[in-house]
Structure 1
Amino acid sequence: MDTDKGRKSPIEPLSPLQIFHHSGARRSLAAPDPITHNLSVRSNRTLKASKPRTAASPRSSSRARLRGRRAARPRQDSTKDRLVQAALKTLTTEGFYGTTARAIARTGGLNQALIFYHFGSVDQLLLAALDATSQGRLTRYREELATVTSVTELVEAMAALYEEDVRVGHVAAVQELIAGGSSVPGLRRQVVNRMEPWVAFAEEVTRRLLAGTVFEPLLPIHDLAYAAVALYFGVETVTHLQGDRSRAASLFEAGRRLAPLADAMRTNATWAGQA
């Protein structure tokens, strides 16, 4: 009798593949957990939608800096203008030696450190103030004398412009700088150089009035222009120091009396054949 037929066969161990099938792992791969799946898909979409940040190009950075400078420039210019106007006012009210950094800052309601930040020194600020008032007044003189064709018209225009100079404080500021700057070597030469545009302008007017006359080639027009400017500033200096404007008024009155005679000489002093 075969004993193997009544004996149960031993249970064979499962292979790894069989364990995999029976454990339900296939089902987990085929049908993933909904929560985990949704999170994974959302993460992938977020990564695809977001772009990596790139560093700003040098050109865009320079443009940003330029816009910043343009935005800051008007404010800086406004501060400089306020300092210039404060310096002019302080010169007029306090005189040259009273125009200190502290006095200018107090007049303008600004920090005195701004003077050195924008101009480097009080002297440079005073020169900037002289430039501002001189350029403004020179423009005004050019406008008024542009149509002058006779000595009579010239004297009347100059008298009116001189009154304006006094009224706006130009005379006081300039004369304080001339008087005070003469004792400061660094300022003296700079102040003298700033008179040259006035000499050039006086030469233009003189040439226009003498054009076509016998005086034009005979007279040293540049020297006449220099003498006219020196006389004008000299009168301003004396009247400013004396505090009496009546002397200047008397000189203009004398000019009004002599102007018709000068015009008559100009009219008769034309070249033969041009009369």
Structure 2
Amino acid sequence: MPITIEQLRYVALGTRDLEAAGRFAADELGLRAVQDSADEIAFRSDERQYSVVYARDDARRQAIGLEVRDEAALQSAADALQARGIALVREAALAARRNVRALGAFTTPGGLRVELVVRPQNQAWRFFPQRDAGITGLAAVALRSTDVAADEALWIEVFGMRVGDWVGDAAYLGFDAAHHRLSLHPSARAGVLAVEFGVEGINQVMQQFHRLRPVPEAIVHGPGRRPVSEQVFLTFSGPDEVLYAFVAEGRQVDPSAPPRPRQFGGGPESHCAWGSACRVPELDGRTAAPLAPSARPALRGVLRG
């Protein structure tokens, strides 16, 4: 029985310059700092207590936080991962720092660190942004993977995620009414490619475009519309080579009867229906290194016909 993921909770990012990362989150994204120490700053974007954590650390140390229902689900995840030769490590000290009841961490075959958390806190008072960017919340995370096929199989078979669509070898994965919450992109290195925030509408996407347009090389993709999710998007540079995106609109699905996933070609036209220029290899069909030789999940072979 697959372990159910309740919610995408947060992204944790190491940074070479904690102060600069904090200024970017507040001034550019409009997030509100809620926990601040000499070595770590957490930012809020919605009802979650926080959705982004910056830590003074090696910039390659990154993780995503996913919520599971209870301790029994966490133990089931540990057992299922162990059967695949993957260790889930319980970390009490980190759980206290993340303000969750329990936490177990593991690394996917493609090199991404994942933190499974139990009962993360929400905030009772409504979110009030640092800047009125129109943020509605953490929407999705795009991930670099050195073995997309193995990571895709893990998320489908152990955690019950569904494939929304494929673009080339990139996989868009969902578990609720959104088209996707995670996307896996072939890359020579593992980690967070882009942190995506929902905004109120296309106006806020275009406002960010005009805000950043005078800044050389700030915009890396967009504005555009994704054929897979039908989201309007703008992707732009952030600290430590992590990208950020504002997204609006988008395709909703019935989780109990999701549509058949589609296979799109790997070229740039499959990543943007408007034809916007893209400077990110993982987002326009270029891959920095050959894909790992893992076999695709059997599901994919059936759906491709």
TM over 0.5: no
Larger radius of gyration: 1
If the length of structure 2 is used for normalisation, what is the TM-score? 0.24
Q: Considering fraction of residues, name the structure with more helix.
A: 1
TM-score of the two chains, using structure 1 as the length reference: 0.26
> Larger % of strand: which?
2
